[in-house]
Amino acid sequence: MDLSQTTATELLNAIAAGQLTAVDLMQETLNRIASVNQSANAIVALRDADTLMAEARALDAGPNRGPLHGLPIAVKDLVEVEGIVSSQGSPIFQDHIPQKDDLIAARMRAAGAILIGKTNTPEFGLGSHTFNPVYGATPNPYDPTRTCGGSSGGAAVALATGMVALADGSDMMGSLRNPAAWNNVYGFRPSWGRVPSEPEGDGFLHQLSTLGPMARSPEDLSVLLDVIAGPDPRHPLGVESPAVSPLGVADMKGMRIGWLDDWGGAFPFEDGIRDLCRDALSVFVDLGAEVVPVAPPFEAERIWDSWVTLRAWNVAAGFVPLTEHRASLKDTAQWELDQGLALTAMQVHRASVIRSDWFRRATEVFQDYDALVLPSAQVWPFEIETPYPTEIAGKRMDTYHRWMEVVVPVSLIGLPCLSVPVGFGVEGLPMGMQVFGPRGSDERILSMGAAYHAATGWPQRRPVG
């Protein structure tokens, strides 16, 4: 069994049909992890093999538990999982073993998944480069001297190397999209509210980050999305989530897709990225869609100003309980804390007014287009020793995260967005592009991705190993 090319849907169907046992799949998974994870460093806090095999045997002996029955999944290390070290990549929590599952882990477990360990992430998920002082760095499987991205970098590498067939992730500033692009897999950021956050602390104010699925096909994304989506009574802003699986393949004939390119020159790019994305757009044209260049629909600088304010407010709120450990926080975390603590209520209000203006303008734009498209990243995977890019094409970056500005128009207003692989650059490194639509169009975006995947199949055409 080649786990690097077999989809989660194929594995789950085989288990349901009695053609594959959870025990056999677990053994293949452990063998694959033993073979590649020493160099990949994508799966951390791996549980005891005998215990995992016993859980697989118990699933084989009992009734079908649900849509993930028997599937091994490693959970992103920002999620608390009962009985597994949940460090968030921080020395502060490197010995923390939760006594209960977070909501997303509980939903996957209840659906029959076997939670085998964690996937590596940057410290506290900050920065699109997966390294931390607890587990170290996770290299790019296509070039181990380069970063795999982040913050769902371990999840993307685990998928690309065939250690898992399905993975969860989270996305505030591209953390499902950037690593998907840089590892030749798919990442889906759902409409905000479709997948509820952990029901603790504030449930009303912060609407930037969301949980979501990663996989080697859009069909697989839909399977996990249905498991983790749906309102929780403790979450005040959750939305109803009609099932998207089994996922249909969109008929692209007559669809209009808007190509935003570099947002009228606002976003600098390294050479080759925009060209590769333009080439990938021809797939939609071949499928019958019309691709139309779109002028910038909103001022990029206003979007950015709103973003840095609301993000700093959000991140700092999460770090306030850790102020006594300030000296143990990495420099970017301390910067975020300082930025957030310095904000006034009216600064936050003004930033949210800009966000609201952009949301209303985007709603108008989507009246003319079924989806909009942007590249998923502005740079190729950079050297693994580099914390973050400080310039792009000669333009200096004024913060540690501005090099990922291209993902912000989606994140700021909570749109559903699929990062699809677009192939490889001249150095053999992967890239992706964002296909996104209005809130609530999750199924349409995924089905467009399914049509694209049927025509391209990049994760299966260029697997790792």
352 flagged as catalytic: no
- Whether 2 has a pLDDT exceeding 90, the answer reads no
Count of C-beta atoms within a 10 Å radius of residue 18: 8
| Concatenated DSSP letters of 203-229 | SSS--S-EEEEEESSHHHHHHHHHHH-
* C-alpha torsion 431→314→400→159, nearest 10: -30
Give the residue carrying structure tokens 């999460």: 318
- Whether 1 has a pLDDT exceeding 80, the answer reads no
The span from the CA of 126 to the CA of 322, in Å, is: 15
Q: Which residues contact 91 (CB under 8 A, 6 or more apart)?
A: 133, 134, 328
Q: Are 123 and 133 contacting, i.e. CB atoms less than 8 angstroms apart?
A: yes
Q: Are 448 and 248 contacting, i.e. CB atoms less than 8 angstroms apart?
A: no
Q: Which of 391, 455, 375 is nearest to 177 (CA)?
A: 375
- Whether 345 has a pLDDT exceeding 90, the answer reads yes
The span from the CA of 241 to the CA of 244, in Å, is: 9
Q: Which of 297, 440, 422 is nearest to 372 (CA)?
A: 297
321-345 as b/e, with b when 16 or more CB fall inside 10 Å?
A: ebeeeeeebbebbebbbebbeeeee
- Local confidence band at 71 (pLDDT 50, 70, 90 cut-offs): very high
User: What is the domain partition of the chain in residue ranges?
Assistant: 8-461
39 flagged as catalytic: no
Which of these is catalytic: 86, 90, 175, 191? 175
The span from the CA of 114 to the CA of 5, in Å, is: 20
pTM over 0.85: yes
pLDDT digits (tens, 9 = 90+) for 377-386: 999 999 999 9
76 flagged as catalytic: yes
Tokens describing residue 122: 């940057």
Which of these is catalytic: 4, 76, 217, 411? 76
Q: Which residues contact 62 (CB under 8 A, 6 or more apart)?
A: none
Distance set, CA 56 to CA 23, 50, 216 (Å):
5, 10, 23
Where are the strands (E) in 125-276, listed by range? 131-132, 136-137, 139-140, 143-147, 166-171, 186-189, 210-215, 256-259
Phi, psi (degrees; rounded to nearest 5) at 291: -105, 125
- Local confidence band at 5 (pLDDT 50, 70, 90 cut-offs): confident
For the chain, give the percent of residues with pLDDT over 90. Answer: 96
pLDDT of residue 229: 98
Which of these is catalytic: 4, 86, 128, 151? 151
* 383 DSSP assignment: B
Q: Are 287 and 255 contacting, i.e. CB atoms less than 8 angstroms apart?
A: no
Q: Which of 453, 349, 362 is nearest to 410 (CA)?
A: 362
For the chain, give the percent of residues with pLDDT over 70. Answer: 100
pLDDT of residue 4: 76
Q: Which of 381, 337, 336 is nearest to 180 (CA)?
A: 381
> For the domain with range 8-461, which CATH number is right: 3.30.70.520, 3.90.1300.10, 2.30.30.30, 3.40.50.720?
3.90.1300.10
pLDDT digits (tens, 9 = 90+) for 90-120: 999 999 999 999 999 999 999 999 999 999 9
Q: Which residues contact 30 (CB under 8 A, 6 or more apart)?
A: 49, 52, 53
pLDDT of residue 163: 97
